[in-house]
Chains A and B, each alone.
Chain A
């Protein structure tokens, strides 16, 4: 059983959804990033998605674009990302880590070498935005062979006919992107989120985590009542960016600000658990 499977199973026993937090590796600098990763589980993150920075993140909004560019300017590389994961694992053997990004840096690193190194560093899964099922032979199938989960995005445009193909080689969990759009944009229509999660669950036993547009505890609570996980990214990046000084330097303030928001989100998720445990669903 993988770390991801184990974590979702534990949370299911507790009747609570997972809080999945996204941060960009090396944003705004490697030292702050390392401290931030270490602080996330203490603040209430159940799973961590770590962004692998890329110059051309075509599915991301301004917040994550800027985070990636800050990280690249501070010297982050794919080797550096894996090093951060390995450092995190020195003090945390249980929190699942999912690496999220775009294919080109992985392709250039070398697929087989990347999979070996990512596994050795202690990563558990991959989300690669620009690899749909049509391109499974590139990375998805090799990743599964290497013992890494390949987490696929399902979106509002993924219809009934396409869903089986999208789910076919997915493992770990399914990431439902609740709006057609880029990260950080808009607010999902919560009533349709419940419906979409149910639609996906009719096709797969995997947990379904929902993201895009979750910014605060109340939104997290609503999603947590309907899904197995709540993914928060841009809001955390915004919290971090708000603490940077004129030269874009990070430090303790960044870690504190992000941790505070994670605690708030975690309480939202925990609150929703009570509601669903007593059978009352929170509605939009």
Chain B
């Protein structure tokens, strides 16, 4: 059966609770999104941006009118076929979508259990999933007539993606990056500079991702007329968590169609790493109503969950609080002061998490696990050696849990790793961990 025939048979088949389908294109693939069931988990957020008690719009009054106009512009764009056509065209010819769903044969043999597939977002232009979201937002900025783009970045992948899109469209680009991250992700700083972006090292607070986000918000409050804030993960004030998720859902939608093409059925489980949660929500969301699909989000456990301020696992080690425009799980002290957190991976080193994940944790639909620095490094090496793929340290966290769980599953269990980015940016960090091999 060829790919399209399988896709069609899935549409007609009885396996899925699908009443109707809305076709749309991703790259050269036609995908199908089921129309939502009444009890669907895919309906959030409500009109005020809430996922259960999470989400919301906790911003200064100066920003409130900007957020409302962004919401309106996004609603209009969503309903405009021309906007979708432009985005699809870029995703196909500029990003290189669809990204492959690759059968990781040697990893599968090595672990001796589940059949493991990699959803290869690391093959996207700029080397990570971040570009999917950035292009959606930059096209929106253009519709809104904004000429100055600001972004925060941790690992630098979102900064690189934003700098790339700004170069492509001739927009001014300013990227805020914690001074600590500027040091540990030097290649990406260099890339951003090459692309014409201005990288501003942030010296305030803990000098990592949360402080970069504070500084970007300060810039936005100051430059309200001409500036578009391109947030890099599925967090922040409404509409960002929903909007970023929508742009990243292409990951899960393609995975769904590709798995049908390859195996004729849904996967049994999917794993993704979680910083703010954008690649994970993009992979998970299209499967939320397929209750047979186990979903695992993997947070960064740094030096270990029991080490105070030594990890970045907001769900495992945090409590609900309010930061950066939304209510969500946060790492904080008993007084509600935000902790810095730690992860070897700059892209996961954030004391919060997108509000939809906070809600999915409470509903129990997604299982949230964590992996330590050490486990992520081991997974990083295993992936390089068995598959000839050097992953970013972020998805290496998700792979670390696959390494434990895959052997416990039967051979016909179909398991997907969201391979969110490639590891070039991390080589110095990994070399450092091997002991002065730089």
A binding-site residues for B, Cβ under 8 Å: 54-59, 61-62, 65, 69, 72, 77-78, 102-109, 129-135, 152-159, 162, 166, 177, 180-182, 185
Contact = CB atoms under 8 A, between A and B. Distances in A.
24 contacts: A54-B337, A55-B205, A56-B338, A58-B60, A58-B324, A61-B218, A65-B204, A65-B205, A69-B205, A102-B322, A105-B337, A107-B336, A108-B319, A108-B335, A130-B322, A130-B325, A131-B58, A132-B60, A153-B62, A155-B60, A156-B62, A156-B224, A180-B223, A181-B62
A57 B217 CA distance: 10
A151 B138 CA distance: 36
Contacts of A181: 62, 221-222
A130 B58 contact: yes
B222 A157 contact: no
B59 interface: yes
Given A104-B332, A107-B336, A109-B336, A177 B321 contact: no
A9 B255 CA distance: 67
A153 B60 CA distance: 8
B2 interface: no
A157 B66 contact: yes
B161 interface: no
Across chains A and B, which 5 residue pairs bring their CB atoms closest together, nearest first?
A: A108-B336, A105-B336, A181-B222, A155-B62, A58-B217
Contacts of A162: 64-65
B57 A104 contact: no
Contacts of A158: 61, 64-65
B60 to A, nearest CB: 5
Contact of B61 (A102, A106, A108, A153): A153
A158 B338 CA distance: 29
Contacts of A153: 60-62
A204 B273 CA distance: 50
Nearest to A69: B205
Given A107-B322, A180-B221, A182-B222, A132 B57 contact: yes
B332 A157 contact: no
Interface in B326-366: 327, 330, 332, 334-338
Contact of A103 (B210, B214, B322, B335): B322
A59 B336 contact: no
Interface in B103-143: none
Given A134-B48, A158-B65, A108 B60 contact: no
B47 to A, nearest CB: 11
Contacts of A56: 205, 210-211, 214, 323-324, 338
Contacts of B217: 58-59
Interface magnitude class on chain B? 35 or more
Contact of B222 (A57, A105, A166, A180): A180
Nearest to A179: B222
A102 B323 CA distance: 9
A104 B321 contact: yes
Contacts of A129: 60
B56 interface: yes
Contacts of A132: 57-61, 64
Contacts of B63: 157
Given A55-B337, A108-B335, A134-B48, A62 B204 contact: yes
A159 B69 CA distance: 12
A108 B338 CA distance: 11
B218 A157 contact: no
B353 to A, nearest CB: 15
A135 B224 contact: no
Given A56-B323, A157-B66, A77 B335 contact: yes
Nearest to B325: A130
Nearest to B320: A107
Contacts of B330: 104
Interface in B182-229: 204-205, 210-211, 213-214, 217-218, 221-224
Nearest to B204: A65
Nearest to B336: A108
A147 to B, nearest CB: 24
Contacts of B218: 58-59, 61, 182
A83 to B, nearest CB: 14
A206 to B, nearest CB: 16
A133 B62 CA distance: 12
Interface string B137-179: 0000000000000000000000000000000000000000000
Contacts of B61: 132, 152-155, 157-158, 166, 177
A54 B205 CA distance: 11
A177 B60 CA distance: 11
A104 B322 contact: yes
A129 B325 CA distance: 11
A78 B335 CA distance: 7
B66 to A, nearest CB: 7
Given A69-B205, A130-B60, 5 more contacts: A55-B205, A155-B61, A157-B61, A158-B65, A182-B221
Contacts of B210: 56
Contact of A55 (B56, B58, B322, B338): B338
A28 B338 CA distance: 20
B322 A157 contact: no
